[in-house]
Chains A and B, each alone.
Chain A
Amino acid sequence: MAASSERSPPPFPDSEEPELLEDSDEGADAFTGTSISEMDSPSPDSTRPPKDIFNEPLEDIFSDPLSNINSEPQKKVDTKIPSPSSDEVVDLFSDPLDDDSEVISSPEVQNPMPDLLNEPVQAPKSDGSSKSSSVKKAASAELFGDEDEEDLFKELPKVVTKKPQPLGPPVDVFTEVKSDVKVKPQVKDDPTDLFTEEALTAPAPKPSASSSSSRTNGVHSEEHDLFSEATVELSLDSPRNDRKKKDAVKPSVSAPVAPVASSSSKAPSKTLEELEEEESEDTFDLNISVTNPEKVGDGMNAYMAYKVSTQTSLTMFRSKMFTVRRRFSDFLGLYEKLSEKHSQNGYIVPPPPEKSILGMTKVKVGKEDPSSAEFVERRRAALERYLQRVVSHPSLLQDPDVREFLEKEELPRAVSTQALSGAGFLKMLNKATDAVSKMTIKMNEQDVWFDEKIQDVENEEQHMRKLHIMVESLVNHRKELSGNTAVFAKSVAMLGSSEDNTALSRALSQLAEVEDRIEQIHQEKAANDFFTFSELLADYIRLLGAVKGCFDQRMKAWQRWQDAENMLQKKREAEAKLLWANKPDKLQQAKDEIAEWEAKVTQYEREFERISATVRKEVIRFDKEKARDFKRQIIKYLESLLNSQQQLIKYWEAFLPEAKAIA
């Protein structure tokens, strides 16, 4: 495929010139033209050189990473979305479970198919997994209707006809499809088989369905040869569009005219909406809160149960609001499941808070002492943040386990975490072997981006650790200050009580009260420092570990590929020897083996490229999320700072007349 050459990410040392180049020569002018016109201004900024960007508003910077992704033609769609995060947001809204499941299921299945056809070698493994997982989805969760599965197979033959299509340059397909959809969604004389095919696939000439599926097509044609996960993700665009479409259609008066009007208006309006979503981050419509930590049971078998409440308007969930009770090991179990499924593909699976035997034992034995209350609150907040991170990841949200975790009343007891000491031992073993293999694998990094990024992550982790220590000491000093202030308040109160002069005595006891309040403020500030910074940094230290895990996965994939390459080399040599020795009987076998290994090499290479692309995308997403997360925390911090400062002002203002009243 045309993409393969571009996909191995070209080295762009300073990542400005190459990006520009790539943008212009790969991103077919027609497309970029339309997309830019659709999205007003943000896209031109995205090609700006980084140096300038540093002085630019952050918004531009955030859209900039996308240009890296955009350099791959398949993803050109993304440019249409002004900010990188919005594509995740879009995904989140999609919902295989909702009533449109027929429409949705079709893109899901179509996806693996082209891959299968175009890349027969790769298909068995990579696509198999995703397919099986989607089948599993259907099978395991009773929530899924049977039709889902049926669709899966029904769709297959149809999709086969798509075979010739992907050979054409993807970008062309897209632009064509797109423009056609806009003007007249039902026209069939379009050269792209794909589109017509899809229009047929759509259950009825219902305007919304047809145009949405055609849109899906557009997405697909671009995503085709990309890894299966990504296609799943993108296919999720459709339900949302679909829904959106419906919303748009409903108010419009005449049904037949609707498709044209709504589809033409769709793109810009969507862009606008996404812009808004980007700016006001909180419109992300899935609120998860972990509340009411509660001790269940007694003695050493006791555990903490938390109330996990979800509030959402996403149609993938059965209701808008629901609550389940989960214990800590359930959270760990969720992580185990997710990391098993996703981390090998290069996804950054957010890690849960660590199990703390000491803290938990305290709680178990627990009288109500403040340190254990603090521990519980800290863990509650950490779990909440963990879940929020999971669901804000577009691919993880789609995982049936996540949904099950949020929705299902009773969850099978997480087994692996129960004997965590054993698991911990295994983990240690794994880590040790990883470390050994890391030492033995000397990957000569072809990709400058990765080379730098790995180094960056390494440095960043160190910095974060350092910062974490700083913040810890900050928090400790704050606590000390609050303690000292309390003692001072007490001694001032005593002084006031033994003072003869009534006015002075009164003023002093007022002062003691003021100091008491200030102590409260210090205490709040300490908690604030702790929860905004210390925990944030701790989270990110953990997350950076997950990022490193991604890099390791990529390295493993590379190693597999290299091994296969070596093997192929050996087989070829063997063949040459056979030729030389003139043994035709064994020659055929050798040739078969070579063919087999060639296939493997291509497959592994593809896998490596796929994982590289995923990791890259994930890391970019991670960086972006990180900056946004920190920004959000700073704002929160400043707000509370300002708040306490205003309280201080109030206290002082109240005290001043008292001081002046001393006669």
Chain B
Amino acid sequence: MEVSSAEAALSVSASSIRITDVTQDGDVLTFALTSQKLDSSAGVCVFRIYEDFDWLQQSLFSQENLPGLQGIIFPPLPSKALPSQSNTQTKALKQLGFLALGQDWQSYCKALEFYLQQVAAHPTLCKCKALDSFLFNSESPGKQRGRKGIFNRLSQAVEEMRKESHKDVDNFFQNERNKNTNLAALSKVATEKLLDVVMTEQKLALACGHFSTSLHLCVNQDDASAVAFSKVCLKLSDVIEAVKRNLEKVASNNLSTLGLGLDLESRYQEAEKEMLFRRTCKLIELETVKKGTEKAKANKREVLEAFQKAVEKEFNLISSVAKQEIERFHSSHVNVLKNFLIGWCEVQLNTAKEFAELYSQHLEACRNMYSE
């Protein structure tokens, strides 16, 4: 992303932020974070729990004296993972999608890592003090609970239906809103479908594993022909095992590249949607104020006009910030998707080649089974 433009104010290099380890203690996941300040070569390692991330996000939301804050597309924070709940798998899948898959929360860590990098790479957000203390302060900042942000998702959901369809004054935003709604839905569906594919691949791999193990049952060394058959069975077992590993590999490739990419894409689309919604809210507010001003009596009119001006100014500021943000988002999302797609294609290609090689070895071995 546009790391370079933010460099002046940024004290940390975005790409150096890594989540190196995660430990699970009951219901709590603790993440080990390493990052590197720009002016030193020494890395800093801190431990954070999800609440700390949440605190950071809220702090970002509630930054004061930052004009046009509501026009910013905040990098989306993945929702909280609940590792030790009963029926975790299905519930977690519903809640987290791809992030619940993968061993030892690897993909979840990746998503959090990506979130932090995005925050750090953001030209405005990286200046936030909260980020600094989150990354470098060895004490956990989450304990000093920040106030709940102004953008409470719950309250938002209620109004959403009504305000969402509000007609925009600006064609650019109207278009953007339409497209965003569309893309958000589509990317969500695509993510879910890919998740289905990955899940089925894993199931299939499991079934292959069962099959491969069961083939060992047929092994019998009683007499020569049984031995011959056993050999064939063992060979088949090996082959199926290879098929299984292939499937696992393909599934994890899908998960770690395209899956994460699509997941991020769909969450980012949601974030954009939220930003656009905030702007729409402001627009509605402005329009109400305007109506009020028109109806108002002369003595109050001046006050109201001043107020209307202030709101209008704020709205225009938000709109201009939003325009920048949208542009930035568009180019960055293309970039992100491109990288994920390339990475995906490369790993899949490698896997395919690797297993083609393996299969041909097996084939060779099978053909030589009698004539060796």
Contact = CB atoms under 8 A, between A and B. Distances in A.
A62 B190 contact: no
B145 interface: no
B334 interface: yes
B345 A481 contact: no
Interface in A469-496: 470-471, 473-474, 477-478, 480-481, 484-485, 487-488, 491-492, 494-495
Interface residues of B, number: 66
Interface stretch (B66-74, B287-295, B357-365): B357-365
B236 interface: yes
Contacts of A464: 218
B310 interface: no
B193 interface: yes
A627 B207 contact: no
Contact of A660 (B203, B342, B352): B342
Given A466-B214, A495-B187, A630-B236, A485 B197 contact: yes
Interface in A114-139: none
A534 B231 CA distance: 19
Interface in B152-201: 179, 182-183, 186-187, 189-190, 193-194, 196-197, 200-201
Interface stretch (B32-40, B80-88, B220-228, B315-323): B220-228
A663 to B, nearest CB: 8
A662 B340 CA distance: 11
A652 interface: yes
B204 interface: yes
A488 B201 CA distance: 13
Interface residues of A, number: 71
Interface in A24-59: 50-51, 53-54, 57-59
B163 to A, nearest CB: 23
Nearest to B178: A498
Contacts of A59: 370-372
A361 interface: no
A507 B349 CA distance: 16
A477 B244 CA distance: 13
B222 A452 contact: yes
B233 interface: yes
A642 B200 contact: no
B342 A279 contact: no
A180 to B, nearest CB: 35
A628 B362 CA distance: 17
A642 B366 CA distance: 13
Given A460-B218, A467-B211, A642 B356 contact: yes
B224 A511 contact: no
A504 B334 contact: yes
A471 B359 contact: no
Given A62-B370, A474-B208, A656-B345, A662 B334 contact: yes
A637 interface: yes
Nearest to B236: A634
A503 B331 CA distance: 12
Given A50-B224, A477-B203, A495-B190, A635 B367 contact: yes
Contacts of B91: none
Contacts, number: 199
A383 interface: no
Contact of B197 (A466, A488, A620): A488
Interface stretch (A240-248, A418-426, A643-651): A643-651
B307 to A, nearest CB: 37
Contacts of A662: 334, 337-338, 341
A431 B124 CA distance: 84
A638 B240 CA distance: 10
A501 B337 CA distance: 11
B338 A648 contact: no
B239 A638 contact: yes
B179 to A, nearest CB: 7
B342 A656 contact: yes
B353 to A, nearest CB: 6
Contact of A487 (B196, B208, B348): B196
Contact of A53 (B193, B227, B334): B227
A59 B372 CA distance: 8
B210 interface: yes
A368 to B, nearest CB: 28
A645 B352 contact: yes
A52 B330 CA distance: 68
Contacts of B110: none
Contact of A630 (B179, B229, B363, B372): B229
A466 B187 CA distance: 41
A58 B369 contact: yes
Contact of A481 (B194, B200, B220): B200
Contact of B243 (A626, A641, A653): A641
Interface in B333-351: 334, 337-338, 341-342, 344-346, 348-349
A648 B352 contact: yes
Contacts of B239: 634, 637-638, 641
A52 to B, nearest CB: 10
Nearest to A84: B225
Contact of B353 (A459, A492, A637, A649): A649
B337 A504 contact: yes
B203 to A, nearest CB: 5
Contacts of B337: 504, 662
B232 interface: yes
A627 B232 contact: yes
A565 to B, nearest CB: 30
Contacts of A53: 224, 227
A499 interface: yes
B357 to A, nearest CB: 9
Nearest to B211: A470
Interface in B225-270: 225-233, 235-236, 239, 243
Most chain B CB inside 10 Å of its own CB: which residue of A492, A501, A503, A638: A638
Contact of A471 (B211, B221, B235): B211
A474 B211 CA distance: 8
Contact of B207 (A460, A474, A626): A474
A652 B182 CA distance: 28
B372 A57 contact: yes
A587 to B, nearest CB: 52
B196 A478 contact: no
A466 B369 CA distance: 26
Given A53-B224, A57-B372, A463-B218, A659 B236 contact: no
Nearest to B342: A659
A659 B224 contact: no
Given A481-B200, A495-B190, A662-B337, A634 B235 contact: yes
B215 interface: yes
Interface string A512-547: 000000000000000000000000000000000000
7 smallest CB-CB distances across A and B, nearest first, come from: A64-B224, A623-B225, A488-B193, A662-B338, A652-B349, A61-B228, A645-B356
Given A62-B224, A463-B217, A631-B366, 12 more contacts: A15-B223, A54-B230, A463-B218, A470-B207, A500-B330, A623-B229, A630-B229, A645-B352, A645-B356, A645-B359, A648-B356, A656-B346
Interface of B: 179, 182-183, 186-187, 189-190, 193-194, 196-197, 200-201, 203-204, 207-208, 210-211, 214-215, 217-218, 220-233, 235-236, 239, 243, 330, 334, 337-338, 341-342, 344-346, 348-349, 352-353, 355-356, 359-360, 362-363, 366-367, 369-372
19 contacts: A62-B225, A65-B225, A279-B370, A279-B371, A464-B218, A474-B211, A477-B200, A488-B193, A494-B186, A495-B183, A495-B190, A498-B183, A504-B337, A626-B229, A630-B232, A631-B235, A645-B359, A652-B345, A656-B349
Interface of A: 15, 50-51, 53-54, 57-59, 61-62, 64-65, 279, 452, 456, 459-460, 463-464, 466-467, 470-471, 473-474, 477-478, 480-481, 484-485, 487-488, 491-492, 494-495, 498-501, 503-504, 507, 511, 620, 623-624, 626-627, 630-631, 634-635, 637-639, 641-642, 645-646, 648-649, 652-653, 655-656, 659-660, 662-663
